[in-house]
Amino acid sequence: MRRVIFNQKGGVGKSTITCNLAAIAAVEGKRTLVIDLDIQGNSTQYLLGGKVTDSDKTIALFFKDCLSLSLFGGNNSSGLENVIHETPFPNLFVIPSHPDLEPLQARLESRMKIFKLKEALEKLEGFDDIYIDTPPVLNFYSQSALISAEKCLIPFDCDMFSREALYTLMQTISEVKSDHNQNLHIEGIVVNQFQKQANLPRQLVDQLIAEGLPVLAAMISPSVKVRESHSASQPLVHHVPNHKLTDEYRALYAEIQNS
Tens digits of residue pLDDT in 77-90: 458 999 999 999 99
What Å distances lie between residue 57 and 81, 140, 184, 197, CA to CA? 10, 20, 29, 45
- Name the residue range of residue 79's domain: 2-257
State the pLDDT at residue 146: 98
Give pLDDT tens digits for 184-200: 999 999 999 998 778 88
Residue, of 8 and 198, whose pLDDT is higher: 8
Summarize pLDDT for 206-241 with one digit per residue, the tens.
Answer: 999 999 999 999 999 999 999 999 999 999 999 999
Our measurement of the distance from residue 15's CA atom to the centroid of its chain's CA atoms, rounded to an integer in Å, reads: 6
Residue 162 has pLDDT above 80, yes or no: no
Domain count, the chain: 1
Q: Where residue 204 sits, what CATH number does that domain have?
A: 3.40.50.300
Say what the pLDDT of residue 69 is: 61
Tens of pLDDT, residue by residue over 38-79, are 999 999 999 999 767 676 799 999 999 999 865 444 444 458
